[in-house]
Chains A and B, each alone.
Chain A
Amino acid sequence: MFSNYRPKNNFDEYFKDNLNSAREILTPLLSSLNNMGLDELNRNHSAAKKLLLRHGATFRLNDTGLKGTERILPFDPLPRIISKNDWITLEEGLKQRLEAIDLFLDDIYNSQNIINDGIIPRELIESSDGWRPQMLGFKPPLNRWCQISGLDLIRDGKGTWHVLEDNLRCPSGVAYFLENRLVMKNIFPNLFSGRIVKPIDEYPSFLLKTLQELAVWTDTPKIVLLTPGIFNSAYFEHSYLAQEMGIQLVQGHDLVCNDNYVYLKTTSGLKRVDVIYRRVDDDFLDPLNFRKDSYLGVSGLLDVMRAGHAAVANVPGTGIADDKMIYSFVPKMIKYFLDEEPIIKNVETYICYYEKDREYVLKNLPKLVVKSVSEAGGYGMLIGPQSTTSEINEFSDKIKNNPRNFIAQPTLELSTVPSLCDGELYPCHVDLRPYILRGKDSWVSPGGLTRVALKKGSLVVNSSQGGGCKDTWVVGN
């Protein structure tokens, strides 16, 4: 099956340097794959796509309406494997990072010691798109700000893990993470033979528990999931999670605030709501306190939160900590708040706001990846080695005009995993998004969503840019 497969010069997660040196942990899987053969793999791959379509695991690209194209997230059947030993370290590292970030958020919206002690300049905080001065003085239940986060991890050319991004607002993808495993079990049960893959099905239970714990004022909280509606690209996930947790999926106009409580409009009148898992961005959450033109949110919700009569996860304002520039300060936060060294390293990051970094970046653009700190989804970035001179010059001007808006990182050779491209196996770049839940306890999903750049040679794994996903297995050695 792998006879035509040629690993690239970077870190291939299946093979060490050539086809004769498969990594030990891959042995059972490679033998099942060889028994199956490429033809059957391709056949079952189409069956998997049909199953995903039937389940409705589809997303709509931005800016498409009722008749817009709905498509499944491309699914690749070759699982990505992570050893339990690696995983234990990653889990620790993720918990550590989130602990520091939560302390940072509490600090920055209250006493601001980290600014006063000169660790992070005030200007960088207050100029961030994620900064929400409305949250100053706010104390969320359990002192937790990020109940649900999904961090992006990558492995560099040597196989070392790094944090690439912190997604702390409404990270998406978890439904695909769960759905991928379901598809693998349905369509490719043979590939599981000979080993135990750490199960992931408890995610909805832990999520529900995390949300319930936020309602410190009652033992029988009413919990709802707030979605922007069916035109949102992650709508499938919203409905999927609501269904799995048995909670109601609501839209802004289903809710109403009155006398500092928030209610659901039902066929039998108004019913009080305790916890809202919101999948609506900060800006649109509450037209009274945030963007006035939003019709997706609930007027007065922030006041209900301040009165302590409802909890919202994640708390508005967490976006300050996943600003791509503030990201570069997370190792300092870990040191400052926990007095520890970061277990998972950041990717080396140049901050164009600082003159010295900016000079370096402007001189070395062809070697670097430049990202706009305010954009997500793989938009607004420059991949130096793959860009033309005019694209580089254009970006150079953008950086000079608004240095606060840009950071740069060395172009990393992301690790690769064999994947089906046009019916053949090809080494495709991957990243990993594990999900971290924090209520009274912390819980990290075993593995996470592996996103894969299915276009040959592409480094961009975002679904909006032609990326796909694979199942991720955490297995014993």
Chain B
Amino acid sequence: MLLSRVAESLYWINRYLERAENISRFVEVSEAMSLDCPPGSAEPWLPLIDASSDRETFDSRFPEKKQDDVINFLIRDRINPNSIISCIQLARENARQIRDVMTSEMWEQINILYWNLQEGGSIWDLPRQEQLSEIRRGCQLFYGITDATLSKDIACQFSILGRLIERADKTSRILDVKYYLLLPSLDELGGVLDELQWIALLRSAGAYQMFRKAEQNSIQPNSVARFLLLDNNFPRSVRYCLDGISNTLKMIDTSPSSDNPSKLECMRGLLKAKWSYIRIEDIINDGLHEAIDSLQIDLNKLHNLIEDKYFINKEFDQ
């Protein structure tokens, strides 16, 4: 038995931390990559902002679009609700509200991560690459502590649910914003593939080494897309996450009705089926961007249905 409010907090803590982790990896990789690019140009940075759909806000606040603006916007900007610092703060605010449900080891990890990011916190003394990997490790440590200390009950299921939904969303967005930029343009058909950039894309999704293990051939756009979207074993691929989401939702719903499934149950089954029985060639032919777009719409719908069923208790609202 879990309070609706607590389920919602657990879900969001994990979404926020997963988001912070993804942004930190993304910035970390992009910054390392930018050293190989002509100095001063912000263009390769803007996809980072696109990936969190914050382009409009960013453009209006930082018309000069400098590289430092991008990095600051993504890491330390308190006004941007999707910056790392905002995500960690929101995760901790949620954690503070449910300290009775978390183990104290989980709480301490999220709490210390928060304090290290405040003004004068220990993280800011480090070089930026170290800051980012420190943040990433801080989030990962939280997952590890959760796994090792929290009972595998419904509270744990809601944590996993939040994490996987966010992860599926982020992996697909990273692919979406980079894929077309990196494809050789039509007029230089057969042009040389910028392998470095494709490696960077894989690294941004934390997928490079596992991709290499899975695909021994040279890097091809199709194989990268297949790996990030449809790999059965890679824990950050869209298909893997949707599998996990589906299993977790089944565990949470103790009394499903197969004769008249709920809307949430329908969405769960549909998403799982859609991404289990599809080939990368067909996705690319029908349009990768369209496929990812519809995935994101579906994930939003799924989120709304979870919210309706579990977070808002409609039976007796005061």
Q: Does A187 contact B (CB under 8 A)?
A: no
Closest to A258 in B: B316
Residues B97 and A229 in contact, CB atoms below 8 Å apart:
yes
When distances are taken between beta carbons in the complex, the residues of chain B under 8 Å from A250 are 3
Cross-chain contact of A243 among B5, B104, B316 (Cβ < 8 A) = B104
CB distance from B99 to the nearest CB of A (A): 4
**CA of A230 to CA of B316, assembled, Å:** 24
Stretch in A115-123, A264-272, A378-386 with 4+ CB within 8 Å of B = A264-272
When distances are taken between beta carbons in the complex, the residues of chain A under 8 Å from B154 are 267
Q: Does B305 contact A (CB under 8 A)?
A: no
Contact with B along A220-260 (1 / 0, CB 8 A): 00000100011000010001101100011111011010100
When distances are taken between beta carbons in the complex, the residues of chain B under 8 Å from A299 are 318
Within 8 A of A (CB), among B252-272: 252, 254
**CA of A54 to CA of B2, assembled, Å:** 26
When distances are taken between beta carbons in the complex, the residues of chain A under 8 Å from B1 are 264, 266-268, 271
**CA of A100 to CA of B108, assembled, Å:** 43
Interface centre among A56, A66, A243, A269 (most CB of B within 10 A): A56
When distances are taken between beta carbons in the complex, the residues of chain A under 8 Å from B111 are 53-56
**CA of A235 to CA of B111, assembled, Å:** 15
**CA of A266 to CA of B3, assembled, Å:** 4
Residues A56 and B99 in contact, CB atoms below 8 Å apart:
yes
Q: Does B179 contact A (CB under 8 A)?
A: no
Cross-chain contact of B99 among A66, A243, A264, A267 (Cβ < 8 A) = A243
Closest to A242 in B: B100
Residues A268 and B254 in contact, CB atoms below 8 Å apart:
yes
Cross-chain contact of A265 among B101, B107, B115, B313 (Cβ < 8 A) = B313
Residues A239 and B99 in contact, CB atoms below 8 Å apart:
yes
Cross-chain contact of B108 among A55, A66, A235, A271 (Cβ < 8 A) = A55
Q: Does A87 contact B (CB under 8 A)?
A: no
When distances are taken between beta carbons in the complex, the residues of chain A under 8 Å from B4 are 254, 265-267
Residues B96 and A254 in contact, CB atoms below 8 Å apart:
no
Interface centre among A230, A249, A267, A271 (most CB of B within 10 A): A267
Interface centre among B100, B104, B112, B252 (most CB of A within 10 A): B100
Q: Does A263 contact B (CB under 8 A)?
A: yes
Number of A residues, CB within 8 Å of B: 32
Residues B316 and A249 in contact, CB atoms below 8 Å apart:
no
Q: Does B315 contact A (CB under 8 A)?
A: yes
When distances are taken between beta carbons in the complex, the residues of chain B under 8 Å from A54 are 108, 111-112, 115
When distances are taken between beta carbons in the complex, the residues of chain A under 8 Å from B252 are 267
CB distance from A264 to the nearest CB of B (A): 6
| Given A243-B99, A249-B98, A267-B4: A53 and B316 interface contact (C-beta under 8 Å) | no
When distances are taken between beta carbons in the complex, the residues of chain A under 8 Å from B98 are 249
Residues A242 and B313 in contact, CB atoms below 8 Å apart:
no
Within 8 A of B (CB), among A18-74: 53-56, 66
Q: Does B7 contact A (CB under 8 A)?
A: yes
Looking at chain B's contact residues, the main secondary structure is: helix
**CA of A229 to CA of B5, assembled, Å:** 12
**CA of A239 to CA of B5, assembled, Å:** 15
When distances are taken between beta carbons in the complex, the residues of chain B under 8 Å from A264 are 1, 3
CB distance from B125 to the nearest CB of A (A): 16
**CA of A147 to CA of B4, assembled, Å:** 29
Cross-chain contact of B318 among A242, A256, A270 (Cβ < 8 A) = A256
**CA of A443 to CA of B245, assembled, Å:** 49
When distances are taken between beta carbons in the complex, the residues of chain A under 8 Å from B96 are 56, 230, 235, 239
CB distance from B67 to the nearest CB of A (A): 28
Residues B7 and A267 in contact, CB atoms below 8 Å apart:
yes
CB distance from A179 to the nearest CB of B (A): 11
Within 8 A of A (CB), among B213-265: 252, 254
When distances are taken between beta carbons in the complex, the residues of chain A under 8 Å from B101 are 248-249
**CA of A195 to CA of B100, assembled, Å:** 34
Residues A269 and B100 in contact, CB atoms below 8 Å apart:
no
When distances are taken between beta carbons in the complex, the residues of chain A under 8 Å from B254 are 268
Contact with A along B1-34 (1 / 0, CB 8 A): 1111111000000000000000000000000000
Residues A267 and B2 in contact, CB atoms below 8 Å apart:
yes
CB distance from A173 to the nearest CB of B (A): 18
**CA of A268 to CA of B251, assembled, Å:** 13
Within 8 A of A (CB), among B290-318: 310, 313, 315-316, 318
When distances are taken between beta carbons in the complex, the residues of chain A under 8 Å from B115 are 53-54
Q: Does B93 contact A (CB under 8 A)?
A: yes
Closest to A255 in B: B318
**CA of A251 to CA of B316, assembled, Å:** 15
When distances are taken between beta carbons in the complex, the residues of chain A under 8 Å from B313 are 265-266, 270
CB distance from A241 to the nearest CB of B (A): 9
**CA of A251 to CA of B318, assembled, Å:** 13
Interface centre among A225, A230, A270 (most CB of B within 10 A): A230
Show the binding face of A for B, using Cβ within 8 Å.
53-56, 66, 225, 229-230, 235, 239-240, 242-243, 247-251, 253-254, 256, 258, 263-271, 299
Question: What are 8 A-B pairs at a CB distance below 8 A?
Answer: A66-B93, A249-B99, A249-B101, A254-B5, A265-B3, A265-B316, A266-B2, A268-B1
* Given A56-B107, A247-B100, 14 further pairs, Cβ under 8 A: A53-B111, A240-B99, A243-B104, A248-B3, A248-B100, A248-B101, A249-B98, A258-B316, A264-B1, A265-B3, A266-B3, A266-B4, A267-B310, A270-B313
User: Which 7 A-B residue pairings sit nearest by Cβ, starting from the closest?
Assistant: A239-B99, A242-B100, A265-B313, A249-B100, A256-B316, A243-B100, A267-B2
